[in-house]
Every structure is written in C-alpha cells, then in structure tokens.
Amino acid sequence: MSEQEILIRKEGRAGRITLNRPRALNALTLEMCHAIDAALREWRDDADVSLIMIDAEGERAFCAGGDIQKMYEAGTRGEYGYGRDFWRDEYRMNARLKEFPKPIVSFLHGFVMGGGVGVGCHCSHRIVGETAQIAMPECGIGLVPDVGGSFLLSRAPGRLGEYLGTTGSRMGPADAILCGFADFFVPQDEWPALKARLVSSGDADAVSQAARPAPRPALTGLRQQIDGHFGGETFADIIRSLRTDDSAFARETLTALQRVSPLSAACTVEMIHRVRALPGLRHALEMEYRFTWRAMEHADFIEGIRAAIIDKDRNPRWRHEGPEAVPAAEVARMLMPLGKDKLTFGED
C-alpha cells in the first residue's frame, strides 16, 4: 500500500482517517481496510483520543466502493482465496466501526457506494453534505449489498430496502437520512469549521449543533408505490407486481431491474427479509459472507465485473435469463451456512 492511499494521524483530541485516492474515487483496498482496523484498535484505549473523524480527499467521492481489479484477476484464475480474505477482513473492520466505544464522525460527500458505505455509514455520527450520493449497486455486478448494507437496508422504512438494494438507486442527503444511512445534514462549506471544532474540543455534540434541516426526501413521494410493489416474498413476486402497473415509476423500475443479476437480486430480497429479523450488524455480515464467499465460483460476480469494469461492454451474460428462472433452491444454496468457513469476529 502506498503511504499516501490513506492518511492516519492524531490531531488535537481526534484520531483522523482520510481516504486519499481521489483519482480512483477513493476505492478501498484490502491494505486500507487493514490500516483502518489497526488505527481503531490503537485508538480504542488511547486517552488522548476522544473521537475519530473519517473523511476523504477529492471532490467526487468519499469512497465509490472496493478496489476489485485484483479480486477479478485472481478469480478468473480460479483463485478465490484473495476475495474471501478481502471480504472477511473488510467485514470485521465494518463491525469494529459499528461497535467502537468512542464517537466516530464520518463526512460523506459525492459518491458513497459499496465499500464506502461500509466505512462511512456504520459510524455513530454520520454527516452528509449536499453532494452526497449514497447507493448499494452490487446487484449490477453480480454481488449483493454487503459491508453491512443488508442491515441498513433492512431497517429502512417500509420496503425501501428491497427497492434500493435491488435497483441500486442513489440516495441524496435527505433520502440517506430517511433510510438510516446518515444522521445529520451539514452544508459542505461549513465542514472545515466543524472539523476544527471537533479536533480542538473532542466533543461529538458539535455535530448536532452544526446540523441543518435537509431538503424533503425524494423517496417520500414514492413510498406507496414502492411498498406496494416490493412487498412480495421473492424477487419474482416483485417483478410480477411491477408488470401489472403501467405507471412511469413501474416502467423505469423494471428497466433498472432488467440490468441486474437475477441471482443477486433474488438473494438480496431473501437476505433483507432474513436480516430484518436478526438483532445486529454482525448477524447481517455473517449472512452476507455466505454469499460473497461463494460469489466468484457460483454466482455472477466475475461476469459482472468483466462487463462493468474490465471490458466495459455493459452487456453481462448472467447465469439466469430472468427472475422467474432463478430456482428457490439456488437462492437457498447461496445463503446456506458455511460451516468451518463461517465469518467470525475477533475480540481484540
């Protein structure tokens, strides 16, 4: 890892973590995950650190996802261990962020997707600025909303979680707050002053004092249609419901869902339903790992990355022709317990 990919230091009363790959939209590498995890362990019992601040360089993104080039290259050679190690260590870091005993303040701007959600949206004080665009677009690359995304989606109002998780639709700042991916809206030109105050005081209450009312959530006006169409037991149920509706919303949503991996979307709906009944983030991460552990060998992940990132032809050849072609037994197999390979969490 380049020393400049992530900046970790102490300033005043704060431990500071800054993602520093702006030209790569701050895409998260395994080494960056390890660096974040190590910093959290070091600062947990450091009396000089009252809170943690996480932000990112560049104007376009807090973090647009994981750096999956190396994962793809290994997977195409049939070497699945690298990806499994990456997801295991990343998920453990996500859990540490959620359970950290000191306040963690994240500053979310631009694209916040996939791995960026895992870093920025499990913190105790999650700030969004006016440019924030938060999404879980994994079904479009043959994966499922992971890094604890299934947990956040399962707690969103009504059936917004199923909608956002399958379509990959982006949330602006107000929708992110509505759906539980963020807590506070603070205009970005006020961030430098807020950061300086946090560094000097170590008091996370400064965040709520700086917060401003967010605009009206766009998703509020779509709740009735989303809850009506996305309340089915399976992804195929959702598709059938949308096909009975000739509204612009239904047509646009069907178009979006036709682009994603049918297997991934089917598993996403099932995961969100299961996670909704589970008590905490660790349980969601363990569920997600069941899919990602199998993703390269038994799902559409390699093909999804080829079409979106490598060849960029935007024409993935998914394993199934449509949602009705995904057997329930295959969804069940993707989400079966992993036995000795189950995701576990160290207590250090």
Active site residues: 66, 115, 138, 146
Task: For residue 220, give the 3-state DSSP assignment.
Answer: helix
**Cα–Cα distance measured from residue 155 to residue 288, given in angstroms and rounded to the nearest whole number:** 16
List phi, psi (to 5°) of 144. Answer: -130, 160
Q: Which two tokens stand for residue 308?
A: 């979106």
Tokens 């299961």 found at: 274
Tokens 């660096």 found at: 35
b/e burial code for range 54-88 (CB count within 10 A of at least 16 → b) = bbbbbeebbbbbbbbeebbebbeeeebebbbebbb
How deeply is 326 buried, as exposed, middle or buried, from its count of CB atoms within 10 A (0-12, 13-18, 19+)? buried
**Cα–Cα distance measured from residue 283 to residue 280, given in angstroms and rounded to the nearest whole number:** 6
